[in-house]
Amino acid sequence: MKTEISFFLNGSKVIVPVDGHHCLIDILRGPLGLTGTNEGCREGECGACTVIVDGLAVNSCLYPALEAEGKNITTIEGLQGPGNELSLIQQAFVDNGAIQCGFCTPGMIMSAKALLDSNPDPSEEDILEALLGNLCRCTGYVQIVDAVKQAADKLKDKS
Amino acid sequence: MKEFRYMGKDIPRPDAADKASGKAHYIHDLERPGMLYGKIKFSDHPHARIKHIDTSKAERLVGVKTVITGYNTPEIRIGFLRDNFAVKRDKVRQYRDEIAAVAASDPDIAAEAVELIEVEYEPLPGVFSPKEAMKKGVPLVHEIGPDGKPKTDNLVPLVYHHESGDMDTGKREAKFMAEGEYSTPRVQQCCMGTAGCIAEFDTNNNLTLWAKTQIPFLAQRDFNRALREMGLQGKNTRIIIPTLGGGFGTGLDTHAYEYIAILLAHQTGRPVKVLYTRDEEFAYLSPRQSSQTKIIQGCDEEGRLSFRHVEVLQDNGAYTSWGATYPTVMMMPATSLYRVSNICFDAKLIYTNNTYCQAMRGYGNPEHTWALESNMDKLAEEAGIDPYEFRLINCNEPGDTTPMGLKISTCGLRDCIENVAKKLDWKKKRGKGKFRGVGMASLIHVGGGARIYRSDASGLILKLDDFGNVNVYHGGVEMGQGLHSVLTLGVAEALGIRPEKVFINPTDTGTCPWDVGTHASRGAFMACNAAIIAADKLRKEIFEYAEELFPKEVEKNLNKYVKKNPDYKPPDFNVEKEAKQDRFELCDGFIFIKDAPQESWLRLELGRLLRAIHFRSQGQMLTTEVFYDPHNELPDFDKGYGNISATYAYGTQGAEVEVDIETGQVKILRMVAAHDVGKVLNPLALKGQIYGALAQGVGYALYENLESQEGKILNPNFRDYKIPRVSEMTFPIDLEFIETDDSLGPFGAKGVAEPGLVPTAPAIANAIYDAVGIRIHELPITPQKLLAELKKLGKTKK
């Protein structure tokens, strides 16, 4: 039995039919065709599927799709500016060598964005806490943490 | 050393922006028109006869297109020894044995259908440890060997042995000896992107497979053989590699799930995707083998190693993958890490009813170095020599030929050891107690390819277009490690164009030349050496054409320039006379004559020249192909002798740790990783390789363990199988890159992908011993194990 829900996705209103057992990731990757959000474990342990719902980083593999009704949702596809311009955080990941296989990257970036949106001047502990739910097997995290620090500095300079 | 334009610079990888914006497409994201979803029914027993399979309920489910078993499909033998089968008949030998599979219009229906398959078994007693499986009269995992003859034991029929010097002499010369048995667990590669493929047949029954593989061309051979076994004589497989969510060795074999996708696609005439879930990845994809290593070494009064005797026992699991060739790599540290002349090495692999194992980063080397370097510290203690000094006494040097016949061209080991000691403040911190300690361990690994197959070659095509771009076709696999990053820079550097004009095409057996596979840290070494040769050929061709065309084109430049600047007086320079092949240079995409006046009109954009070559009578497009086969030898593995690699990578890692004696927790305070990399090609990528490998080494040392009970995996998820999180990687890591500028390495470089995790565990273990005087012989070094030993020694307060 499908229910139609509507929400704001990357700034635009969308209307999608959802099944009761669907999670947010199913409708993002399925009918909405946004495959940038990756499914790594489907049990909220790896964070590859992280998106931002009303300002909070959530695991979209656990978030019931029906709960999305009326919410403001940002996925990795919503970060770039016009002409494919990368956001500051994305650029910092690129410049710091924070990306290898890239499967965890969209989730990492979304966790970092949720942090910096709410806390523009994070301490190292804040960064570690924000990324704690995101697993990466390639990088050893060093360059990822460097990237978030650099993005925070650049955002501060900009504001 | 030569100055480079792009090599050695922090240049971001070419695929980074797409990966940062969700535009990289993994197998998870790919769909084909009309595609079906495959799902596999795995065994419910570790060892049993299959009495009956009832698929009728599954077949009746709406949306199910086909259900296959071993009884309605041809037998396809797979694996390194071809002792495995795509779909099992008669008998299962492990919990993950594939009994049946479904193709359905939707993944949920496929999963539901698999639940409806009913299998009647006759359970058999199993064997679950190598030692148990070697006893007389125990159940046989395979009654018939791969050679078709009856088997009488559970020994895998592969021989790995090396003997050199004389063990009796070595023992006589030894004043001090140290003996120990060290073991390592099964660990999972944990690629963030799980395994999967899409199989699709065209109407002529040729197959296209989108695969998560590291060996596209060996896989093509395997799958073409399967097509023959399916009755499709002479048909071909084309393998296309999508973006890979990690590899770490999981792609070095072809897997049953791939053959099952092929069978389902052939039966239905539709594309079929099989994609593992995370729990399937943990339970049904082969992990790194566990190992047990007995080692005894001795040294003379001065601390010089006099002999080394090693016996390795590995749990092969139920079938044999390429991972069963781990001992070929183990022989390398056994014979060639530090100078020792009297050696005996022996490795056995034993069939059990555990999950069968496969390759993982390091390929036997982390297992073996764990034993060897733990035991080196023990021997140093016996001899009363500081372990740092002990390693320097026995250090390998450039020009050595080791007992295995490895020709050590360049060797930065001494520098690595000294750098680690310096950075760790060794003299001040070693042996100071207070539950803090420092330790180190070294490594040798192949750094110039590894000939474990009859060819170790790598082909590469460079295709220039009309715009001065170069399209690169290479059979190596980018799985995240940065191969395409260094290949882009290698092509740009060697050809003389800007990196943004280099386009690496997706790896595809239909368009790329043959490559043996991306393993053994060989990707950058092979691809960049091939690129250098190909670029040299292209430059020669370009300069040949330039002799004729350059003067005409720059004359057009000059005319334009004079039109704009009527007062301009060109310098006295006879272009036609000076335009000789050997006088040209190509740099940043511009051709010019060396030592010519610095006039802008005397520089010709490469695209202009290429168009001049193309658009005329008898025009030409420039493309070149090379097939680079490195200077190394296929060893005789029965004798354990041969120069397997063109060069060898050395390294040393050091750790400073603190042990909490109340909890047994080990806190890493600092690590130093000093690696002989030959030459730093891309610092960003290199750091990422070492940091990432070191993190895997930390997991291996302290907590990773794929646990199983009677063959059943007990922790198939990230809740129960712990890999390092960001909070565990907060200690400072000093990276020291030793540049030995290897003459056979591209731009002087050696392979670096695996070394970073090889010595991590023994370095940490040696530091723990320094801190609390306890040596754990069995990885991982969990708080429980440490606490138990601390209690025995009365070191806890309780």
A82-158 has which CATH code?
A: 1.10.150.120
* Model confidence at B309: pLDDT above 70: yes
Which candidate, B675, B636, B618, B655, places its Cα nearest to that of B781?
B655
Q: How much is the pTM?
A: 0.97
Characterize the bridge pairing of strands B305-317 and B343-351: parallel
**pLDDT one-digit tens code per residue, B97-145:** 999 999 999 999 999 999 999 999 999 999 999 999 999 999 999 999 9
**pLDDT one-digit tens code per residue, B235-252:** 999 999 999 999 999 999
Show Cβ contacts of residue A12 under 8 Å, excluding neighbours closer than 6 positions.
none
User: What mean pLDDT is predicted for residues B579-584?
Assistant: 97
Q: What is the DSSP string of B179-235?
A: EEEEEE--B----SSPPEEEEEE-TT--EEEEE--S-HHHHHHHHHHHHHHTT-TT-
Strand partners of residue B198: B210, B273
A103 and chain B in contact, CB less than 8 A:
yes
User: What mean pLDDT is predicted for residues B719-742?
Assistant: 98
With CA atoms as reference, the chain A residue closest to B718 would be A45
Structure tokens given for B318: 């139920």
User: What mean pLDDT is predicted for residues A29-37?
Assistant: 97
Interface A–B counts its CB contacts (< 8 A) at 172
**pLDDT one-digit tens code per residue, A14-26:** 999 999 999 999 9
B480 and chain A in contact, CB less than 8 A:
yes
Dist. CA B328–CA B309, nearest whole Å: 16
Given B29, B247, B692, which is nearest A35 (Cβ)? B29
Strand partners of residue B299: B176, B305
What confidence tier does B794 reach under pLDDT thresholds 50, 70, 90?
confident
**Which residues of chain B neighbour A110 with C-beta distances below 8 Å?**
none
What confidence tier does B1 reach under pLDDT thresholds 50, 70, 90?
low
Structure tokens given for B304: 């010089």
* Cβ <8 Å between B718 and A46: yes
* Contact status, residue A112 vs residue A130, Cβ threshold 8 Å: yes
* Model confidence at B637: pLDDT above 90: no
Q: Hey, what CATH class is A2-79 in?
A: alpha beta
* Model confidence at A27: pLDDT above 50: yes
Average pLDDT of chain B, as a whole number: 97
- Poorest-pLDDT segment among B267-281, B436-450, B625-639: B625-639
Strand partners of residue B164: B343
* Contact status, residue B649 vs residue B675, Cβ threshold 8 Å: yes
B570 and chain A in contact, CB less than 8 A:
no
Given A45, A97, A106, which is nearest B717 (Cβ)? A45
**pLDDT one-digit tens code per residue, B354-392:** 999 999 999 999 999 999 999 999 999 999 999 999 999
Which candidate, B531, B452, B507, places its Cα nearest to that of B216?
B507
Q: Give me the residue spans of the domains in chain A.
A: 2-79, 82-158
Structure tokens given for B652: 């040393």
Dist. CA A32–CA A15, nearest whole Å: 10
* Predicted local distance difference test score (pLDDT) of residue B334: 98
* Contact status, residue A148 vs residue A112, Cβ threshold 8 Å: yes
Which residue of B19, B285, B715 is the best one to mutate when testing the A interface, meaning the one whose CB has the most A CBs within 10 A?
B19
A100 and chain B in contact, CB less than 8 A:
yes
* Model confidence at B798: pLDDT above 50: no
User: Considering only residues 129 to 148 of chain A, which have any Cβ-Cβ distance to chain B shorter than 8 Å?
Assistant: 131-132, 134-145
DSSP state of A27: H
* Model confidence at B232: pLDDT above 50: yes
Shortest Cα–Cα distance, B479 to chain A (Å):
6
User: What mean pLDDT is predicted for residues B42-51?
Assistant: 98
Q: What is the DSSP string of B532-550?
A: HHHHHHHHHHHHHHHHHHH
User: What mean pLDDT is predicted for residues B491-510?
Assistant: 98
- Tell me the backbone φ, ψ of residue B311, rounded to 5 degrees: -130, 125
Q: ipTM exceeding 0.90?
A: yes
Determine the straight-line distance between the first and last CA of chain B, rounded to whole angstroms: 60
Q: Which helix (H) or strand (E) holds B64?
A: strand B64-69
Show Cβ contacts of residue B632 under 8 Å, excluding neighbours closer than 6 positions.
B448, B449, B450, B451, B456, B643, B644, B645, B646
Show Cβ contacts of residue B656 under 8 Å, excluding neighbours closer than 6 positions.
B424, B429, B436, B437, B438, B668, B669, B670, B671, B767
* Cβ <8 Å between B20 and A36: no
B277 and chain A in contact, CB less than 8 A:
yes
